[in-house]
């Protein structure tokens, strides 16, 4: 018998074993840059494309002030009572949705103003230089799409910039939805304004927010102990409100709201949820296919700031390994089953076959970009000439002439 969602176990909440560093010199910034330079510039195994796919996780956004799950200072480390909401819980429980949307309402301003950091920008630079062909990210903050619009980024677990109706599947932008939440919950809106004015939500330090009595969790979730979550209200899907969807059995559906427009539990549909994949929810098949194609279209895999604890990410790394792709992992702390990815390495290999390091991405990746730019630039070549030498060089040459 399937256990109810409130008994479901979040996988791998404990720390993984500390990793072995490959090559050993990659335990310093200089050594890690040298190893990754070797990784990117060595020929790929025969039959594989000469490009690299990136698989990223929540740790990449920590430098932007966002919390992660399993990092050394992640939510599972500092907030032992934290449990993310499950899909079935959200769908079936009106009170659980109140709690979710209240906490998301408080967290959205911080997420909305957060920006890609040096790590995201360096990924864009790696793509600009012709080394990265595509990105698969587990993150829902949309920083990859903001940092590199021209490089495909598959958002494996969805995105917080929109909400989606669970009945009609229409999407709505998050900003006007946030405004509607404020209209329906004026006292909560006042509290949020006061929290922002006091600086309680302005700090990029999760530790400082906790000191102010606020728990900052991943994906824009802000927990205020003893907050009256039962008072929170949220709107119905406007499309379903105008045209109620039929019930699963085919009978006529009902979507009802109160005098202010808040969704009522007498409704049979029209529930809005974030456009993210919640725990217990299935990833869309088209998204899975796009992620697989990103891996299949590359000859190397660079894993950034993720413990690969979720199977949806781990299977992509395993797929890369099974294809014979060299793998580099940059993550603070251990990774799920990482021995799988570093079997049978040649003695003394310097990075061409594999790299494993724990250097922070916001430090390592910009330094790597500088080194790749330096080593790729022939003596006397200026920046404009370098751009024309990569990806569509003839087009850039014409534009610059």
Catalytic residues: 157
Residue with tokens 């799988």: 340
The 10 Å Cβ neighbour count of residue 57 is 26
What is the C-alpha separation between 331 and 90, in angstroms, rounded? 31
Give yes or no for a contact between 56 and 137, defined as CB atoms under 8 angstroms apart: yes
What would the DSSP string read from start to end of 39-56? HHHSPPPTTS-S-EEEEE
Q: At what angle do helices 118-128 and 361-376 cross, to 10 degrees?
A: 30
Answer positive or negative: Cα dihedral of 117, 119, 120, 121.
Answer: positive
What is the C-alpha separation between 199 and 352, in angstroms, rounded? 47
- Beta carbons within 8 Å of 29's beta carbon, 6+ residues apart: 359, 363, 364, 367
Q: Please, what's the b/e burial string for 225-244 (b: 16 or more CB within 10 A of its CB; e: otherwise)? A: eebebeebbbbbbbbbbeeb
What is the C-alpha separation between 285 and 220, in angstroms, rounded? 26
| Radius of gyration in angstroms for the set of CA atoms belonging to the chain, rounded to a whole number | 23
What is the C-alpha separation between 348 and 42, in angstroms, rounded? 15
Backbone angles phi, psi at 329, to 5 degrees: -120, 120
Give yes or no for a contact between 46 and 380, defined as CB atoms under 8 angstroms apart: no
3-state secondary structure of 323: coil
Sheet holding 272-276, edge to edge: 171-173, 158-165, 272-276
What is the C-alpha separation between 400 and 76, in angstroms, rounded? 51
């Amino acid at each position: 018998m399937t256990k109810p969602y409130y008994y479901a176990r979040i996988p791998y909440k404990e720390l993984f074993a500390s990793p072995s560093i490959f090559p050993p010199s990659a335990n310093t910034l200089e050594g890690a840059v040298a190893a990754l330079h070797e990784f990117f510039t060595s020929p790929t195994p025969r039959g594989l494309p000469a490009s690299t796919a990136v698989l990223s996780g929540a740790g990449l956004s920590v430098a932007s002030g966002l919390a992660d799950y399993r990092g050394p200072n992640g939510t599972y480390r500092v907030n032992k009572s934290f449990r993310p909401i499950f899909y079935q819980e959200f769908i079936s429980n009106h009170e659980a949705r109140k709690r979710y949307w209240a906490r998301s309402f408080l967290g959205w301003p911080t997420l909305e103003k957060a920006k890609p950091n040096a790590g995201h920008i360096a990924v864009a630079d790696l793509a600009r230089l012709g080394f990265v062909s595509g990105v698969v990210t587990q993150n829902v903050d949309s920083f990859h799409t903001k940092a590199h619009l021209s490089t495909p980024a598959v958002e494996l677990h969805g995105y917080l910039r929109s909400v989606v109706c669970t009945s009609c599947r229409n999407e709505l932008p998050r900003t006007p939805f946030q405004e509607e939440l404020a209209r329906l919950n004026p006292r909560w809106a006042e509290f949020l304004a006061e929290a922002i004015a006091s600086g309680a939500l302005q700090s990029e330090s999760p530790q400082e927010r906790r000191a102010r009595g606020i728990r900052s969790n991943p994906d824009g979730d802000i927990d205020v102990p003893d907050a009256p979550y039962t008072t929170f209200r949220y709107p119905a899907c406007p499309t379903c409100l105008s045209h109620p969807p039929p019930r699963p059995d085919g009978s006529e559906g009902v979507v009802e709201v109160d005098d202010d427009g808040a969704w009522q539990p007498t409704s049979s549909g029209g529930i809005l949820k974030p456009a993210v994949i919640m725990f217990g929810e299935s990833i869309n098949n088209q998204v899975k296919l796009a992620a697989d194609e990103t891996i299949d279209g590359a000859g190397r895999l660079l894993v950034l700031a993720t413990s690969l604890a979720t199977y949806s990410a781990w299977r992509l790394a395993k797929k890369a390994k099974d294809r014979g792709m060299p793998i580099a992992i940059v993550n603070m702390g251990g990774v799920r089953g990482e021995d799988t990815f570093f079997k049978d390495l040649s003695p003394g290999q310097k990075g061409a076959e594999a790299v494993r390091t724990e250097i922070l991405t916001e430090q390592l990746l910009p330094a790597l970009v500088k080194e790749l730019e330096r080593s790729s630039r022939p003596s006397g070549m200026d920046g404009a000439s370098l751009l024309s030498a990569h990806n569509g060089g003839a087009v850039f040459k014409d534009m610059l002439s």
